[in-house]
Structure 1
Amino acid sequence: MPYSLNLDIPAFLQHYWQQKPLVIKGAYSDFIDPLSPDELAGMAMEAEISSRIVVTKADDWHVDQGPFEDFAEYGDSHWQLLVQAVNHYLPQTDELMDSLRFLPDWRLDDLMVSFATPQGGVGPHIDNYDVFILQGEGRRHWVVGDKGNYKPRGNNPQSPLVEDFEPMIDVVLEPGDLLYIPPGYPHRGNTLEPSMSYSIGYRAPSQQELFGEVADFLLDHSRGQQRFTSAIKEDTQGQVSLSTQSGMAQLLTALIEDKSTYNDILGRLLSQNRFDLDISPSDPAYSSEELAKLIATDNHLSRIGGLKVLRLEQDVQPRLFINGEAWLFSELDEATLSEIANSKQLSPQLATALCNNQHNAAILLDWVNQGLYYFDADEA
């Protein structure tokens, strides 16, 4: 089903993205939920899918982690079910995700879908990522406050909740309404009637994540073994001189300035997903002859839900990064690399062009047999 977003995208990016919250009433005209509450409950029963139930209390919440066998014990109010990475498992959510694809794929975290009963919510809290909250069936009341120094609820440093705040946005979302909240803005949702909500999150790596990826890469590839050297001039018995401090910092800077290393690290990091993908390897595996035959009969190849296929502008090598791995191509131009990265489907023409090179054909065969791409009858 088509999902057309009623939004002035250039104005949004200029005035709101990562700057201030925005309510878009009627963002999706005649919105139809891509799944039902029962289907969501069924997903929460699967062990490989991340899910949880949040029970609302007076000044706190209680969380039960899935998978679940039954929901009767929770009653008719004051709880909500949340299921992560629904876009990894349900192809019918693709068009909804595509409506927000004016933002780059590397930022996308996942589509979290929730079913909430009346008075269900998680209380006032602050997220460190951008989120679009789309209302499906039902209605929810949302308040959003301005940025500020908010104390944790009850002065408990372990509490994920913050103290109440003065609303700058106070709105009831109805089906098709969209609420955008940048990082750092406190917000709280309260369910007025049984509701479906869709939260599309966008994250960027933190310093900790970047340095962690650098360390992992250097260890895995036996890189970064250059040691600091200097003449002993300014150091004394118990003092590390400024020149020594600066020299050691330069060792770290040199790693980042080496594009062959930094590009590899960054591409692998940004192409990974926080939640598992629904990967099903081909069984039996395709042979190269079988693959070529299927492509020749106008079969399209589609990437699985949530798969990130990225290239780095002005990369030092003709490669793509997929799910934390680097794939180096042979004699492939920038335009073709961009087409693969930007398109969720590989047309028979593009797949044929890849198969015309033995090395590139082997990569395509590997993608299909790993389960990263599959033949999509709907695209034929």
Structure 2
Amino acid sequence: MYTLNIDTQAFIKQHWQQKPRLMQQAFVDFEDPIAADELAGLACEEEISSRVVVTKGEDWDVIQGPFEDYDQFGEDNWQLLVQAVNHWYPASQPLVEAFRFLPDWRFDDLMVSFATPGGGVGPHIDNYDVFIIQGEGERRWKVGDKGQHKRRGNNPNSPLVEDFEPIIDVVLKKGDVLYIPPGYPHCGETVTLAMSYSIGFRAPSQQELLSELADSLIDTNQGHKRFTSKDEPSSPGLISQAHQQGIMDLLVQLAQDPQAYQTMLGKLLSQNRFELDICEGEEPLSSDDLIDAIEQGAIIQRIGGLKVLRLEQDNHARLFINGEVYPLPDVKEDVLQLLANQVSILPEQASELIEQPTLLAVFTQLINQGLFYLADDE
């Protein structure tokens, strides 16, 4: 349904995490996967992250959702932003699929925006990659070059920056896509009533990695090695350069030991920042129930936004799903690959897979946890 009209491998080599790119008509005959009133309905829900940004001259007010009505905001100079729409609105998943030429572990969420004329969020810098897809209406986007950009209000923690000299200045029309890597300042302003879609990709920071690694080492009772040395500084109050480096090398050794970091990475990278739409059934499903459903043509389907990941050169047969480890002893690598790559498992495939008792038990568990569900084969 949504096919990117670009050479994705050339894009990765020439632009990905390197420089912005404007892709006019990257989606031919683009259709909005969600209507404005449906988006407004999602923003009524307590568990869904939403906000309205109101433009006030050279400033912006941010009001956090949920929202019951929008009359207070008037007819211009504001926009509604709803995060993780792919978690809650299944019809948006095909748009996400168009960007799976990039790995799932990087994918953050699909944010959808409805904006009135003059609505925008101001010049800012993100620490993640983003593809901005234009739906109905038109929005003007400016992108600046990397560099030392002054933070607005001299606040080093604010993503907002002062105005910049644009290297891209364009009005996006339906089907156009603008890619912006981390570190490039950008801002958008709505020309006409508009729907926009932001596909975000992010990677963990050093802070996140160190925090997760420390927790993992404590949980698994690893990381007890201490620094030792043969040479000591002549001055008692001095920490020598050799000692500094030797102590920090303990962390380097952990980073080079898959036994120390692989489980931590799998758990961390399979987590979501935003709440999932967990769909537990009223009654637990038995393995026999699952077999019967598949025989009757049911599809095994992931809930929106769920990450199912495997590690290359893993010493264990397992998958990482939503921050947890799912051991799959005796399951072959090609099956693990299928489970990690396919969002839907068709009845024919499912029938073969559940012949393995391990997979039958895990599928039953995942459905009862509300992470997968049974859908009709349309």
Name the TM tier (shorter chain). Answer: over 0.9
Residue type matched to 2:368 in 1?
A: N
Percent identical pairs in the alignment equals 56
Q: Does 1:257 align with 2:217?
A: no
Matched positions, count: 378
Which residue of structure 1 aligns with residue 311 of structure 2?
312
Q: Matches of 1:61 and 1:125 in 2, distance apart?
A: 12
Task: Name structure 2 gaps, 5 residues minimum.
Answer: none
1:32 match: secondary structure: coil
Matched residue, 1:345: 344
Instruction: Work out whether residues 138 and 173 of structure 2, in 8 Å CA contact, stay in contact via their aligned partners in 1.
Output: yes
Indicate whether 1:269 and 2:268 are aligned. Answer: yes
AA of the residue aligned to 1:280: C
Report whether the alignment pairs 1:279 with 2:284: no
Q: Which stretch of the first structure deviates more once superposed, 62-71 or 145-154? A: 145-154
Deviation at 1:243, TM superposition (A): 4.1
Kindly report which structure 2 residues correspond to 1:1-380, keeping only aligned pairs within 5 A, or say none. Answer: 2-157=1-156, 159-230=158-229, 233-234=232-233, 237-377=236-376, 379=377
TM-score normalized by the length of structure 1: 0.94
1:253 Cα shift? Answer: 2.2
Normalised by the size of structure 2, how large is the TM-score? Answer: 0.95
In structure 1, how many angstroms separate the alpha carbons of the residues matched to 2:5 and 2:208?
35
Distance 1:339 1:75, change over 3 A: same
Q: Structure 2 CA distance, aligned partners of 1:352 and 1:169?
A: 52
Q: CA deviation at 1:219?
A: 2.7
- 1:131 is paired with a residue whose SS is strand
Deviation (angstroms), 1:36? 1.0
Q: Aligned AA for 1:371?
A: G
CA deviation digits over 1:281-334, x for unaligned, max 9?
Answer: 122010111112222333210111111111111111111111111111121111
> What letter is aligned with 1:262?
Y
Q: What is the CA–CA distance in structure 2 between the aligned matches of 1:225 and 1:131, rounded to whole Å? A: 40
Structure 1 vs Structure 2 CA RMSD: 1.8
Distance in 2 (CA, whole Å) between partners of 1:206 and 1:156 is: 20
After superposition, the Cα gap between the structure-2 partners of 1:24 and 1:221, relative to the gap in structure 1 and judged at 3 Å, is same
Equivalent AA in structure 1 for residue 52 of structure 2: I
Deviation, structure 1 residue 234 = 4.1
Alpha-carbon distance between aligned partners in 1 of 2:360 and 2:259, rounded to the nearest angstrom = 25
For residues 301 and 87 of structure 1, do their structure 2 counterparts lie closer, same or farther at Cα, with a shift above 3 Å needed? same
2:329 corresponds to which letter in structure 1?
S
Counterpart CA distance in 1 for 2:234 and 2:219 is 34
The answer to whether the 8 Å contact 2:152/2:158 transfers is yes
Q: Is the 8 A contact 1:131 1:202 kept in 2?
A: yes
Report SS of the residue matched to 2:61. strand
Does the Cα contact within 8 Å between 1:354 and 1:364 map onto a contact in 2? no
* Counterparts of 2:145 and 2:366, CA distance in 1: 46
Counterparts in 2 of 1:334 and 1:232: CA distance versus 1, 3 Å: same
Deviation at 1:3, TM superposition (A): 1.3
Distance 1:296 1:171, change over 3 A: same
What CA distance in whole angstroms lies between the structure 2 residues aligned with 1:256 and 1:353?
39
- Gap change, CA 1:239 and 1:159, over 3 Å in 2: closer
220-229 vs 323-332, greater mean Cα deviation: 220-229
Q: Secondary structure at the match of 2:117?
A: coil
Q: 1:350 Cα deviation (Å)?
A: 3.6
Q: Distance in 2 between matches of 1:137 and 1:181?
A: 21
